[in-house]
Amino acid sequence: MPEDSTTEVTAAGIARLAGVGRAAVSNWRRRHADFPKPVGGTETSPSFALGEIEQWLRDQGKLAEVPLRERVWQQLAGHPSGTVAALVHAGCVLLLRRERPRAWTALGALPDARLAEVLPTALEETLTARFGVPRAVRTPTPSETVPAVPLLRAAVELADELGGPREAFEFLLGRHLDANPRQYTLTPPPLADLMAELAAAAAPEGRPLATVVDPASGTGGLLRAVPHATALFAQDTDPDLAALTALRLALHGDADIRAATADTLRADAFPDLAADAVLCHPPFNERAWGHDELAYDARWEYGFPARTESELAWVQHALARLRTDGAAVLLMPPAVASRRSGRRIRADLLRRGALRAVVALPAGAAPPYGIPLHLWVLVRPGGDQRPPAETLFVDTAGLVPDAGRDKLPWATLRTTVLDAWAGRGGEESVARAVPVIELLDDEVDLAPARYLTAPAAGGTAPELAAVRARLDETLRRTQGLAPSPVPARSGPRPLTTVGELARTGALQLRTGGSGTASDGDDVPVLTEHDVLSGGAPSGTLPGGAASGAGAPAEEPVLVAEGDVVVPVLGGGSVARVVDAATAGAALGRNLQLLRPDPAALDPWFLAGFLRGTANNRQASSFASTATRLDVRRLQLPRLPLADQRRHGAHFKSLAEFEEALRLAARLGEQLVQGLYDGLADGSVEPG
């Protein structure tokens, strides 16, 4: 791979290259006079030449070899034109590599200067053949190509390593999305798959989804979920997203791709389209959607949406772009089902048979994750067809256990929703087909929970009696575990720090939050909340790329029995010893793992002293809004292993007492709320 003198890397990037924290990079800059000087950035956030940093790390013995994927990502992130522009340029070359491999082989053999000169012509031919004119992907100019040549060569090399251009682009796109989580609103891949399957199920039997459109395409996740389309149409207001979507879809399959940049409601790029399906995750609660200038638009067949009903404008746009009997599936905020300002449009959608189903998803299914969003399934009615007499309502919130809303059972959700659509039964607390005439009241409230039979909220009387019995048993056990304090007899003890123990090899330190899952793997994640609450691992690893399959997995940090896990944010004094049931889970964000050598350190002794309030206070630093724990500064006494184990046994007993108290509190809350609910809904009688 050619040397790259133009790519810059930040302190965070250096830390990733060397496998250390940012504090270590700051220390290197202060202590080593030969550390490379900044070449860009700002005084508070400088950037450095990647080549100089790699050479310095090798000279210091801190870097054996930079993985290809990490090097390509650093080149991408440090590109002078910006990460997105570099990602588009890399995608163009990867598409050339996919569509015309022999042409790239010949071009790749040229010197860098000559390659930068002739590459735009080859890209223009490839992009025009794939996307037509006009198109969302602009051909880079020779002047733009010159600084990108090392990156472009590296991207093709990465494709060879990862298994193809699609896999390389998915990896790079996934890293970019992971690095900018607040910049993009993504539809999780399992939800995108469910929406595509619902659209296929709603289409007439035997008709494939050949032509599919997403009028708010984002990064293209919904269209990528359609398996056998022949033509995909995407539109987005952001030109960068439109270009990334076009390249992503073109690298994913052989469908005809048409992507456009414009405001869909104000300037529809495909006004004459009659698609088989529309999939859409529209922007929510948008006031400036074009209410004033679109008052007489022909798309408002079901009524002119109020200024506060932008989502109903998207619903009618989707119906307008369908052929007769074509299906649309839209992700909607729950308020759209019940706002008074939209009741007339909802009523007309029902009367004319356009709205076929409303599916309530659990909270956490898609951003914003704290709200239980809805799926609306619509079909464009034909002129002589009789509207269906019923509308399907599905509520999947009850399928998610209260303990883990960030670990959704997508397989169960998918089966429940598709079975309900197919009419394969199910409990009336989950799915029910409601006569349209019952829905057309003054409110036209389409919230599924209103029409489904609610199960007893607190449980039956025998179930509550069982909770009471468990509570009695737990309280007796708690009383038996209650410790008795014994006055100390010894004086001050010599202390050491976690940092010193790590330097001598008595323990290892690892930081959580990185890693992705391989295809088919279901690795649980021990989250910060799990450690604080004493719960089981409730998180899940993202796929090879945040946006979908195709990218290789990165190895997470897996916890083992006897490890000690400490949260580093928040200012609490918590340390958890990993047991056999938790072993094998991945370490989550904002957690530090300490892996003691059993021949030198007892894990319960270590965890117990790490929980000391004064110990945590002296090892913490304070910012304006948060407290951060420097685990290396935590102290513990120097004791023989036998004395450590004696202390550790007491600390373990305290942990068992603490867990019994937690269980008693949970059971008590469950019993109290269950009795409130039972008395309120009549499932139990006053005693």
Both 144 and 266 in a single domain?
A: no
Question: Is 669 domain-assigned?
Answer: no
* DSSP letters spanning 262-284: S-TTTS-S-TT--EEEEEE-PPS
| DSSP class of 399 | G
Which of the residue ranges 242-246, 364-368, 425-429 has the most confident prediction, judged by mean pLDDT? 242-246
Both 241 and 340 in a single domain?
A: yes
Both 501 and 631 in a single domain?
A: yes
Both 213 and 174 in a single domain?
A: no
Beta strands 431-435 and 390-395 are antiparallel
Confidence band of 5 (pLDDT split at 50, 70, 90): low
Helix (H) or strand (E) holding 422: helix 410-422
Helix (H) or strand (E) holding 532: helix 528-533
> pLDDT tens digits, residue range 442-463?
999 999 999 987 665 566 788 8
Question: Is 667 domain-assigned?
Answer: no
Greater model confidence, 682 or 258: 258
Confidence band of 322 (pLDDT split at 50, 70, 90): very high
User: pLDDT value at position 572?
Assistant: 67
Q: Which of 662, 364, 344 is CA-nearest to residue 533?
A: 662
* DSSP letters spanning 137-198: SPPPPHHHHGGGHHHHHHHHHHHHHHTSHHHHHHHHHHHHHHH-TTT--PPPHHHHHHHHHH
Both 63 and 193 in a single domain?
A: no
Q: Which of 208, 190, 195 is CA-nearest to residue 328?
A: 195
* DSSP letters spanning 297-352: -TT-TT-PPPTT-HHHHHHHHHHHTEEEEEEEEEEE-GGGGT-GGGHHHHHHHHHT
Both 163 and 208 in a single domain?
A: no
Which of the residue ranges 56-65, 247-256, 656-665 has the most confident prediction, judged by mean pLDDT? 247-256
User: pLDDT value at position 546?
Assistant: 43
Question: Is 404 domain-assigned?
Answer: yes
Give the integer Cα–Cα distance in Å for 64 and 70: 13
Give the integer Cα–Cα distance in Å for 121 and 476: 80
One-letter amino acid for residue 53 of the chain: I
Both 306 and 426 in a single domain?
A: yes
User: pLDDT value at position 405?
Assistant: 45
User: pLDDT value at position 472?
Assistant: 93
Q: Please, where are the H alpha helices in 21-82?
A: 22-31, 50-59, 68-77
Q: What is the mean pLDDT of residues 651-679?
A: 89
Range in 82-86, 90-94, 555-559, 642-646 with the lowest mean pLDDT: 555-559
What residues contact 341, with CB distance under 8 A and at least 6 apart? Answer: 306, 308, 309
Query: What b/e string do you get for 591-613 counting C-beta neighbours within 10 Å, with b at 16 or more?
Result: bbbbbbeeeebbbbbbbbbbbbe
Question: Is 2 domain-assigned?
Answer: no
Question: Is 114 domain-assigned?
Answer: yes
Q: Does residue 403 have a pLDDT over 50? A: no
Both 230 and 138 in a single domain?
A: no
Question: Is 505 domain-assigned?
Answer: yes
Give the integer Cα–Cα distance in Å for 452 and 475: 38
- Kindly tell me the sign of the dihedral angle through the C-alpha atoms of 563, 567, 571, 576: negative
Confidence band of 6 (pLDDT split at 50, 70, 90): low
Question: Is 289 domain-assigned?
Answer: yes
Range in 172-176, 301-305, 487-491, 675-679 with the lowest mean pLDDT: 487-491
Q: What is the mean pLDDT of residues 17-36?
A: 84
Confidence band of 426 (pLDDT split at 50, 70, 90): low
Rg (alpha carbons) of the chain, rounded to whole number: 29
Q: Which of 17, 27, 23 is CA-nearest to residue 53?
A: 17
Confidence band of 404 (pLDDT split at 50, 70, 90): very low
Range in 241-255, 338-352, 427-441 with the lowest mean pLDDT: 427-441
User: pLDDT value at position 64?
Assistant: 54
Confidence band of 282 (pLDDT split at 50, 70, 90): very high
Both 224 and 167 in a single domain?
A: no
Range of the domain at 612: 494-638
Give the integer Cα–Cα distance in Å for 446 and 443: 9
Q: What is the mean pLDDT of residues 630-657?
A: 91
Q: What is the mean pLDDT of residues 282-293?
A: 94
Beta strands 275-280 and 211-214 are parallel
What residues contact 165, with CB distance under 8 A and at least 6 apart? Answer: 94, 95, 97, 98, 156, 159, 251
Q: Which of 374, 341, 209 is CA-nearest to residue 275?
A: 209
Mean pLDDT of the chain: 88
User: pLDDT value at position 483?
Assistant: 85
* DSSP letters spanning 89-137: HHHHHHHHHHH-HHHHHHHHTS-HHHHHHHHHHHHHHHHHHHH-SS-SS
Both 152 and 195 in a single domain?
A: no
Both 439 and 309 in a single domain?
A: yes
Q: Is the bond preceding 603 in cis, omega lying within 30 degrees of 0?
A: no
One-letter amino acid for residue 629 of the chain: L
Last residue of a domain, one of 179, 199, 218: 179
Last residue of a domain, one of 594, 620, 638: 638
Q: Please, what is the end-to-end C-alpha distance for the chain in angstroms?
A: 79
Say which CATH number the domain at 241 has. 3.40.50.150
CA 89 → CA 92, 169, 240, 343, distances in Å? Answer: 5, 11, 11, 47
User: pLDDT value at position 127?
Assistant: 96
Both 198 and 341 in a single domain?
A: yes
Domains identified in the chain, total number:
3
Question: Is 467 domain-assigned?
Answer: no
